Every structure is written in structure tokens, then in C-alpha cells.
Structure 1
């Protein structure tokens, strides 16, 4: 692409008054953008800030606080670290993400790389990683190395091309339904904890009515901020307990403090046996990236207008940025496990906004939340957290999955994804169904015949066998004991 084409955004931009509706204006903005890959992208020359950009920025900040806290707490529990350590490390992680990666990469250097978020599906495995002799730094560095290798080799986009609409739609349906069920259960568990379960019922019912009305007036992109405010007001008005406890401040920025033997993680630097212990989990973590990243890109495609391919998320570049963020963040002392930032991408796609402007605002909000401290208390308050995830991530995923599985051919593959994901997990469901779908055993038979032998069965078979071997090793198959203990290096 010529430089003259890349600089055409400023020339082709038209004011809002030139369009019949705000939606038409936002769609035109997406169609005229020409992001510069790995070169400076500047506000007003290459993109503009709009009020809609605040929506994904707020959603991403709330999601960031919650997800990083969940990861660090999952490490801290088995290691015997305090809640104060968790809060301090989360604040440190938010500064790393905001200053070094969110603004620098997604905001300026590569606007088609999604923000590097948090690897939620790996959280349940963290206690097992610690019990197996794992070390947070060893895990983070290995995930960063493997992820960067996959991104540079463009393996992520290859796996995305081999995934049909039926497989992807089924994956979105499964993740959306599981997420909705989980958040509702957590909300009721929170309310029942102080014998006021009706608060959860009123909050969820009000959220349903609000979401339906926003769908009706075509302003669904407001669901996260309005839903969060609504949930907080209702819960507080009905007597739910809440108080601010995190005071303003700046976390310790010295890596030597975090990786000291008597400070921070209190583990010191990792040794060889630590890397051996985390190897299977690192492979599994990176393997989980492909379906996750693919789902975020597909969600953009479903919400963006035609002729916007150039602003869609690049899966391989996102992998490289997430891997770099993982390695750097871990080396500095953070406990986050990186992935594509879903709580940013989903609301950004709904609001019909590209990545860079919202990324800059997200970075600003993350810095403010980390320094002020008090917003972190509100963001992790159960009614605000659950409602934000429900309306900002899981309900939109359900809708997108339904859109992709309306045809009979796609519904076959979708059903197998849901079935096999329920048996083991989404990684197993995705890899198995991609293999069956590309072989032509289910789904669109003609699609399988159009693929080469390498793409039809060789690559899907290798991926499936590799993932099954890793999952078998760490004990993720129901009813089958973990084989990982036989490879463990005692220390």
C-alpha cells in the first residue's frame, strides 16, 4: 500500500453533519481508516476520538481490574501471600499494561493489534501449576516465548482460516452461555452470603429489561456503563454492603522487590526445574489463544460494515503484542497471564469503533484507577462486575454465535463444538470439531473438499493430538488421572 493511500484518512474524513445518522458517520469512519502497521499512527491524522470510545475504555478498565485480580489471587492463595500483595500487584500490572503496551502498541504503533488483556480460561489451572512446582516468572516467560513464536510464524491466522463459521459460532455460543450462567450464579452466591438473595434477582431482572430496551433503540453500546450504574444504584439502595478501602498511591516499581526471596512474590528467580514444571501449562495457554483471538475478530466482522477489512484485528500481530506484554510484564514482577482483551474488543465492536482511540483512553483510565485506588473497589463489587461482564461480553457472544449458526450446515458443527466443549473444555471442543469439520464428516462437506490435504487433515490432526497430549498430562480429561506427576522434577 502506498503512503498516499495510508494518509487518505484525513482527506476523506467528513463531519458528522454530512451524514443522516450517527451510525452512518461511525461506519464511514471505519471504512476510510488506513492503519499504518508498525509505524506511528497519530490522532486526527489516522483516527479520531469519539464519545463512543469511552464505552470500551470503561468496560476494559473494569474487566482489567477484575481479571488481573483473579489471576494474582489464584497464585497468591497457594503461595500464602496476603490480599494486600494482590492489590499492590494488580495496580503494578495495570501501569505496565497501560503505559508500555496499551497506548504504545494498540494506540500508536499497530492499531490492528488488539489490546493485551488477561487469560481468563487459565485461572482454574493456576493452583495446579503451583502445586506442580511451577513459578509465576517461569510460566510467564515461557508463555511469552511460545506465543511470540506462534505469532511470528503466523500460526494464529492459519488456525483461524481452518475454523469454519459453524465451529466458531458454536464456540461463541458455548462461551456465552457458560459465562452468563456463571455470572448469575456468582451474583446470587454474593447476595445469599448476607441473606439478601432478592437483590441479585432484582439486579438481573432490571439488567434484562435495560438490555432489551437498548437493543430496541439501537444503543446497545451503552449497556456496560448504564448497566454498571444501574446495578450499583439498585444494590446500594436495597442495602447491599459496600465500602471504599483501597487508598491512592503508587505501587512498588522495582523488579528486584517483586522477585526477591524475602519480598514481593518471596520466591526468588526461577531455576531449570521450574521451567520444566510449567512447560505443559505454557503450551496449553498459548493453544487457547487461537479460538479466543478468532472469536474477537469474528465479533468485529459481525458488527462492522462492509469494506472495513483493513481495520479488523490482526490475529498474528495481536499474538506478538500479547506475548511481548507477557514477557516484559513478568520480568518486571507482574503476575498477569496475557491474552486478547475481550472486555475491550466486544464493546468496541458493538459501538462500531476501531481499536486505537479507545486504546488510548483505556490506558488513561487504567493509570487513573491504579493511582487513585478507589475505582478498583467499585469495579470489583459483585453487582457491578457481574453486570458489566453479562451485558458487555457474554450476551453479545451469545448473539454473535446465533447469527453464525442460522444455517443447517453450520448448526451441525456448532452442536459438536458445544457437546465436546462440555465434555472437556473449549480447547478440546474447538480442536476436535475443526478436524471433523475439515474432513467433511460434519458441517459443509464442500468446504472440506476445497482444502488441501495439509489444511484438511494434517495440520488439524497434529494440533488435536498435541493439545490432547498436553491436556492429558495436566489432568484435564474427566475421569483420567493426570500424567504430569510422572514428569515432575522434585525440589
Structure 2
């Protein structure tokens, strides 16, 4: 039989599918197939294929791992603290008591859980969770003093954020930010955050007359963090540090008791926006929107450096070929904007941003967003209904060490990693300097302009930029942001340009 006849009798082999076309389930391998746990987690990141605006289902598109519980726990602790801070900052000048703050925090935990599941866990798996806009906290007393209405403030933030997301403005500004600028921003945020938490812990020690406890807790936390770093188990830093800090403080005599009993907050939005209930403000008027307009612009302008820091930290921690699962800035803005809009309509006190206390531990643990997001939603529901975990989460020995090891020290490490190569130190120094002068949003905008013009940093990078990216976009952004800050009195030593914001 000749070769031609033989070939016609043999069955034709089926074409093998390209590996990129295989589904997550087809690429999946159990952890036992890898030499180390880290290899397994990195392989999981590389084989996932998130579906944007389509259902992403557990076990079909991703799996739950023990490491997902760590960022979920850190995120829940951070959420209780940050929403409590915003609600309390609003409550004091409005004459609202602690009962309002507690009820609104529980309400916000339940609202957050719904949007976490819907977006980060289901429809937009590369959108970071919509957390709390911490840098806004110092501005809230000014907003209240000017007659600002929290619903009007939240709705404008949602509207401006959605416009920026739809126009892809967030990712555009991120692409214009060099490694030096971003690294300097991370260094500043990490250092300021770390020192502030240390000061808060020592202030707590003075209040209870036991200043030795903060010293012991922080020293032992440093030793634990160093040991975990040496063993390659840094992703365990948050839970172990919380247990260590709380146990040491209690054993040394620090007072603690559970006082928040189980229950549900009022779920009726009309209660929260009644004239004699909830916020006791009624619904906003046209004047209410005009008053908060500059602050809303500033809040959304401050999103980009916040989002960029979280995305860059993820890029540093993840292995190669994981672009598909990395945080998408524009999708995160969509998520935060929609969550902000509905949260404000429902009566919540939260002002949304990228959820840093989730993203940073998740990146360290080398885990994608969706599975940990669902666990975060579960923990938020448990904390909001059960009540008792809220007392533990806001106890200073637990809270401070959780934020230090889970967010601020990793930010410092990421900033140093980004500024150790190339001509990045000049830009990093200027962004730290200018952030200390006003705030991180001002420092970020000014340094992008100087860096892209080639006055500092890498001159070769500046020459490669188009005229639009070199000075037009950075210049317009800096002028707009500075004008808004000047109008509401945020530039040190300069009275507010708008009289109603002067004090």
C-alpha cells in the first residue's frame, strides 16, 4: 500500500486548541501539582480570564483559597473604621449622637456587601471594591460649616466619577504618571499613615494611663512582621498582628468590653433623609448642590492618585502574564461612582474610593479580586448584623497594627521598590515635598506637570511624549485642581477665594 492510500485510511487528528483559548477550568491544576504554594497562587493569577460585564462564577472562573480571607478581614476592619470616622465627623457639627454613627456604619456595611457582590464579585471582576475616601475626612467639617448636604455631595461625586470613567480619564492620568511620581506618592502615604497610627496608639495609651502597652505592642509587631517576611508568609501579617496586638494589650490590663449587641439598622431611606429622623436634614435643594460643587470636583480629582497607588502595588506584587486580572482603573471608577450614587440615595455616610485595605493585602497574598471580594461582603454582613466584631475592629491595639502592617508598611515598601532604579528619585522627592506642603492630590498634580515637562526626572521620557501629554493635559489638570483648592481655602496661608468658605 502506498503512502497516499495509507494516509487516507488513517483517522485525522483533531486540531489542538491554543492554550490562550482554554478556559480557566481547563487550565486549572491542583496545588499538589506545584512545588510551592506561591507557584500555585501565581499560576492561578496567570490562567484566570475575567469576563467584563458578564457573569463571573465561583469555581467556573475562580476559586476560593485560604489567602482570600486575609484581605477580606483587613478590608472589613478598615471599612468599620473609615465609615465610622466619616459618620462621626459629620455627626459632631450636626448635633447627632453616637447612636446615629453606629447605626449608619451598620447600614453602610450592608449596602457595601450588596455592591461588592454585584460588581467586584460578579460583573466587573477587575474593579477594586468601592471603599471609603479617607482623604476627604479633614474636609468634611468645612463642607458642613458651609451648609453642605451629604446627599448632594455624594450624588455629585458619583456623577463626576462616572463622567471620568466613561471618558477613560482615570487610566489616561495613570499613564501620564511616571514611576518616580508614583513611587514618591506611595512613600509619602506610607510614611504619613504609619506615623499617624503610631501616634494614635500612644495617645490611646496615655488616655488609659498605660503608655508602656503601645511600646510593647508595636515592638512585638515589628518582630513578628520581620519573622513573617523572612519566612515568606507576609500575607499573614494582618490576622496575626491583630491577634498579637489585642492579646498583648488585654493581658497587660488594657480595658476592653463588647458593647454593640446584634441587630439591624433602619433600612428605610426616607428615615435617613427625614427632617426629624436620621440625618435630620431633609432632602437637598439646588443651593445644596452649588455649595458642595468644588468639594465634589476635588474628591474625584483625588481618585486618580489613590487608584494608581493600588494598581501599581498590585503590578509589583503579581508575576508576569497577569495583566487580565489586574485592577482596571476605569472599571473601578465605574464601580465607585455607581456605589456612591446609590449609597447616598439610600442614606449612607460613606464617600467611595478604591478600597486600599482590601487591595494591598490581596496583592501581597497574590490573590485576584473576586473571591476575596465575596468573603469581604460576607464579613461585612456578619459584622453589621452581629455587632460584636465592630467593637473589636475599632479597638486601638487591633485597629492600629492592622492598618500599619496591612496597608502603610507595604506602601512604603512598594514606593522604595519603584524609586530604586533609573532617574526616579528627583520626582519622588518633589512629590513628597509638595504633598507635605498641601496634600497628596496637589503634590501628584504638580509633580506630573514638572516631570512630564522634563524639568525633573527622566528627560528622555519627556521627549517621547506628545505635546498633549507633555504639558497640555497635566497643565490643565494642575490649574483646575489648584483653583478648586484655592476656592475652598485648602492652600495654606491663602484665604478661600469663595467668601462662604472662609472661617
TM-score by length of 2: 0.95
For 1:141-160, what aligned pairs fall within 5 Å after superposition?
141-160=155-174
1:66 to 75, 81, 99: 81
For residue 302 of structure 2, give the secondary structure of its aligned residue in structure 1: helix
Question: Is contact 1:7–1:46 with CA below 8 Å preserved after alignment?
Answer: no
1:484 aligns with 2:498: yes
For 1:15-414, what aligned pairs fall within 5 Å after superposition?
15-99=30-114, 101-414=115-428
Please give the alpha-carbon distance, in whole angstroms, between the structure 2 residues aligned to 1:3 and 1:459.
41
Q: Give, in angstroms, the shift of residue 103 of structure 1.
A: 1.1
Question: Is contact 2:356–2:407 with CA below 8 Å preserved after alignment?
Answer: yes
Q: Give, in angstroms, the shift of residue 214 of structure 1.
A: 0.4
Q: What residue is the counterpart of 2:7 in the other structure?
A: none
Mark the runs of 5 or more structure 2 residues left unpaired by the alignment.
1-16
Please give the alpha-carbon distance, in whole angstroms, between the structure 2 residues aligned to 1:139 and 1:17.
51
Q: What residue is the counterpart of 2:4 in the other structure?
A: none
Question: Is contact 2:489–2:501 with CA below 8 Å preserved after alignment?
Answer: no
Q: Give, in angstroms, the shift of residue 96 of structure 1.
A: 0.4
Q: Deviations over 1:99-148 (max 9, x none)?
A: 2x111110111110000000000001100000011000010000000001
Indicate how the Cα distance of structure 1 residues 4 and 85 shifts in structure 2: closer, same or farther if over 3 A, else same. Answer: farther
For residue 409 of structure 1, give the secondary structure of its aligned residue in structure 2: coil
Please give the alpha-carbon distance, in whole angstroms, between the structure 2 residues aligned to 1:212 and 1:4.
40
Q: Give, in angstroms, the shift of residue 5 of structure 1.
A: 5.4
Question: Over aligned residues, Cα RMSD in angstroms?
Answer: 1.3
Please give the alpha-carbon distance, in whole angstroms, between the structure 2 residues aligned to 1:282 and 1:6.
43
Question: Is contact 2:54–2:123 with CA below 8 Å preserved after alignment?
Answer: yes
Please give the alpha-carbon distance, in whole angstroms, between the structure 2 residues aligned to 1:380 and 1:142.
30
Indicate how the Cα distance of structure 1 residues 475 and 29 shifts in structure 2: closer, same or farther if over 3 A, else same. Answer: same
Q: Deviations over 1:387-437 (max 9, x none)?
A: 000000000000000000002510110000001111111011000000000
Question: Is contact 1:289–1:339 with CA below 8 Å preserved after alignment?
Answer: yes
Please give the alpha-carbon distance, in whole angstroms, between the structure 1 residues aligned to 2:128 and 2:319.
19
For residue 288 of structure 2, give the secondary structure of its aligned residue in structure 1: helix
For residue 424 of structure 2, give the secondary structure of its aligned residue in structure 1: helix
Q: Deviations over 1:18-62 (max 9, x none)?
A: 101000000000000000001000111100000000000000000
Q: Give, in angstroms, the shift of residue 484 of structure 1.
A: 2.7
Q: Deviations over 1:124-183 (max 9, x none)?
A: 110000001100001000000000110111100000000000000000000000000000
Number of residue equivalences: 486
For residue 403 of structure 1, give the secondary structure of its aligned residue in structure 2: helix
Mark the runs of 5 or more structure 1 residues left unpaired by the alignment.
none
Q: What residue is the counterpart of 2:9 in the other structure?
A: none
Question: Is contact 1:191–1:199 with CA below 8 Å preserved after alignment?
Answer: yes
Q: Give, in angstroms, the shift of residue 3 of structure 1.
A: 13
TM-score by length of 1: 0.98
Q: What residue is the counterpart of 2:484 in the other structure?
A: 470
Please give the alpha-carbon distance, in whole angstroms, between the structure 1 residues aligned to 2:441 and 2:24.
39
Please give the alpha-carbon distance, in whole angstroms, between the structure 1 residues aligned to 2:263 and 2:501.
44
Please give the alpha-carbon distance, in whole angstroms, between the structure 2 residues aligned to 1:50 and 1:267.
45
Q: Give, in angstroms, the shift of residue 15 of structure 1.
A: 0.7
Please give the alpha-carbon distance, in whole angstroms, between the structure 2 residues aligned to 1:407 and 1:13.
36
Question: Is contact 2:419–2:425 with CA below 8 Å preserved after alignment?
Answer: yes
For residue 378 of structure 1, give the secondary structure of its aligned residue in structure 2: helix
Please give the alpha-carbon distance, in whole angstroms, between the structure 1 residues aligned to 2:221 and 2:96.
36
Please give the alpha-carbon distance, in whole angstroms, between the structure 2 residues aligned to 1:10 and 1:34.
10
Question: Is contact 1:7–1:45 with CA below 8 Å preserved after alignment?
Answer: no
Question: Is contact 2:142–2:501 with CA below 8 Å preserved after alignment?
Answer: no
Question: Is contact 1:6–1:34 with CA below 8 Å preserved after alignment?
Answer: no
